[in-house]
Amino acid sequence: MSAITRDAASVITIEQAGQHDAQQVTLRGWLYNVRESGKLLFPIFRDGTGIIQGVCSQKEHPQAFEALRGLTQESSVIVTGIIRSEKRAPGGYEIGVTKVEIVQKVPESDPYPIQLKEHGVDFLLDRRHLWIRSPRQAAILRIRAEAIRAAREYMDGQGYTLTDAPVFTPAACEGTTTLFEVNYIDDQKAYLTQSGQLYVEATAMALGKVYTFGPTFRAEKSKTRRHLTEFWMLEPEAAYADLSDMMALGEGLVSHMVQSALKNRQRELETLKRDTAKLANVRPPFPRISYEEAIRILNEHGNSAKMGDDFGGDEETLLSSEYDRPVMVHRYPAAIKAFYMQPDPQRPDLALGFDMLAPEGYGEIIGGGQRVHDYDLLVKRLRENKLPEEAFQWYLDLRRYGSVPHAGFGLGLERTVAWICGTEHIREVIPFPRTIYRVYP
Ligand code: 4AD
Ligand code: MG
C-alpha cells in the first residue's frame, strides 16, 4: 500500500468541494459506484463527509480510466481532479478525474456484500459494520453526533456540571424485571445500570446542578421500534428544583437539540428526505397537560384509557398527534410510577413526574420529575417495592444528611434522534444496536 498522505493544501473532503470550484484537489475515500458510458466513466466517490460524482475520459486520462474501469464497489481510492460546479450532480459539484490511486481493491471474487439495491433489514443488521458506510446511515450518525454536541452545549450553558454515573451498580433503579445481572469479581452480584439517576442525585447534593450522559441497559423483552437493550440517556438532576423547573429544562434542551440539527445538519436531513417543516416549530413553550386531561383527550378520540392506566404506544401516538411539538404529560398516578417519585401534596395519589412525548408517533423521549426527599417516605417506598434496603443505604444517606427537594429527568438519546431523523426504528440511530435477539456485530 502506498502512502496515504498528499500535499496537504490540495487534500479536501467532499463536504468542502464547494469551496474549491475550478481548483485541482485530491479526495481520499472509497468507490461507491461506477457507471460506464462508451469512452467516459462516471464514478461516484464517498469519503464519509458526502458523495461526489466524477467524470473520467479515456482519451484525456487513460491511466485513471483504466484504474477505474470495472473497479469494485468499496475499493479504497485516492483521486485527484478538478472540481466543477454541476447543477445536475448530487451536492451541486462534480470532479473531473485526472489521476487515481487504488489503496485497496476489493477482490472481484469476494465483492462488497451490500449492493446498491434494497436488502432485508436482518441482512443489513448482520453487516452493520459495513452498512454504516451507506450515505443514509452515515447521515444518521452525523445527526446523532450533532444531537449529543448540542445537548451537552445546552446543559453546560445552563450551569450543569457533567458527573458520570457508574455502569456497574448494586441495585435496580427502574424495576427489577429488566435488570442485566453481571457476575462481578469473587461472585459478587452486580447489575448493569438502568439509569444514572440515583448517582446524579448524590452528585447534585455535592455540586448543585449536574448531569450524567452515558449508556444504560435494560433487559427489555419488548420487540418494538422504540426499544433497545443498550441505549444512551442524558440525565440532569438539580438540588432545590421542582417539577416545573424540570419541564422548562426539558423543553429548552429538546428545542436546542432539534434547532441545532436543523441548522448544522441540513445536508444530512436532506439525505434522509426528512420533512423538516415538522421540526421547525419545535421551540418553547411546549404544551403541558395533566395525566387526567390526557385521559380525557384520549377518551374524546375513542381510546378507552381510564384513570390508573399506563400509556402504551397507541395512547402516546394519539396524544402527541394533537400538537405540532412535543407535549409534556405530568402528574401520573403514583401507583404506576417508580418508587422514587415525590407525591403531589395536593393529591398524594399523583406523582410529581412528567413524560415528554415526541410528535409523529415517536413516543416518550423524556421521563422524570421530583424525587422523594423525606427519609421515612423513601423507606416506605423501598419496602412497598420490595427493594433490598441494604443496597440503598447510601441512597438513604442523601435523605439523612441535608436532604432537600430535588428533581431531574432522563432523556433517551436514540428516541430523540430517531424522531429528528424520522427513521422507522431506533436501531438505525446507534452505531451498533443491541436488541432482544442481537448482540452481533
Ligand atoms: O422513563 P425512564 O425509564 O426514566 C428513568 O430511567 C429515570 N430514572 C430517568 C431520570 O429521571 N433520571 O427512561 C428515560 C428515557 C425514556 O423516556 C426513553 O426516552 C428512554 O429513556 N428509554 C429507552 N430508550 C430506548 N430503549 C429503551 N429500552 C428505553 N427505555 C427508556
Ligand atoms: Mg418512562
Q: Which residues line ligand 1 (CB under 6 A)?
A: 173-174, 195, 197, 218, 220, 227-228, 231, 233, 235, 364-368, 408-410, 412, 414-415
pLDDT at 4 over 80: no
C-alpha pair distances (Å), 203 with each of 47, 86, 196? 42, 55, 11
The answer to the question of residue 176 being in a domain is yes
Strand boundaries in 291-362, DSSP class E: 327-330, 353-358
User: Which residue of 195, 199, 225 sits with most ligand 1 atoms within 8 Å of its CB, as the best mutation to test the pocket?
Assistant: 195
Give me ligand 2 centre to Cα 30, in Å: 42
The DSSP output letter for 81 is E
Number of domains in the chain: 2
Distance CA 317, CA 278 (A): 15
320 class by beta-carbon count within 10 Å (0-12 exposed, 13-18 middle, 19+ buried): buried
In this structure, the answer to whether residues 411 and 275 fall within a common structural domain is: yes
Distance CA 264, CA 231 (A): 24
In this structure, the answer to whether residues 183 and 319 fall within a common structural domain is: yes
The answer to the question of residue 439 being in a domain is no
Give me ligand 2 centre to Cα 173, in Å: 12
Give me ligand 1 centre to Cα 367, in Å: 6
In this structure, the answer to whether residues 319 and 390 fall within a common structural domain is: yes
Q: pLDDT tens digits, residue range 196-253?
A: 999 999 999 999 999 999 999 999 888 889 999 999 999 999 999 999 999 999 999 9
357: cell is 412525548
In this structure, the answer to whether residues 139 and 214 fall within a common structural domain is: yes
pLDDT at 91 over 90: no
Q: How many residues does the chain have?
A: 441
In this structure, the answer to whether residues 204 and 267 fall within a common structural domain is: yes
Domain stop point among 104, 119, 150:
104
Atom of ligand 1 nearest to the CA of 178: 28
In this structure, the answer to whether residues 139 and 75 fall within a common structural domain is: no
Do 319 and 326 touch, CB atoms closer than 8 A?
no
pLDDT at 222: 83
The answer to the question of residue 121 being in a domain is no
- Residue among 273, 227, 236 at smallest CA distance from 254: 236
The answer to the question of residue 228 being in a domain is yes
In this structure, the answer to whether residues 284 and 390 fall within a common structural domain is: yes
pLDDT at 7 over 80: no
pTM for this one?
0.96
The answer to the question of residue 341 being in a domain is yes
Give the pLDDT mean for 324-338: 97
Say which residue the cell 440525565 belongs to: 235
Give me ligand 1 centre to Cα 227, in Å: 10
Atom of ligand 1 nearest to the CA of 231: 25
- Residue among 156, 159, 157 at smallest CA distance from 208: 159
169: cell is 451498580
Atom of ligand 1 nearest to the CA of 416: 19
- Full domain range(s) for residue 367: 129-429
Q: pLDDT tens digits, residue range 154-200?
A: 999 999 999 999 999 998 889 889 999 999 999 899 999 999 999 99
Q: Whose CA is nearest to atom 17 of ligand 1?
A: 366
Largest CA distance in the chain: 86
In this structure, the answer to whether residues 181 and 329 fall within a common structural domain is: yes
The DSSP output letter for 160 is P
pLDDT bucket at 292, cuts 50 / 70 / 90: very high
pLDDT at 138 over 90: yes
Do 201 and 398 touch, CB atoms closer than 8 A?
yes
Give the pLDDT mean for 375-382: 97
Distance CA 154, CA 428 (A): 25
Q: What percent of the chain has pLDDT over 70?
A: 98
Q: Annotate 323-361 with DSSP letters as a single string.
A: -SS-EEEE--BGGGS-TTBPBPSS-TTBBSEEEEEETTT
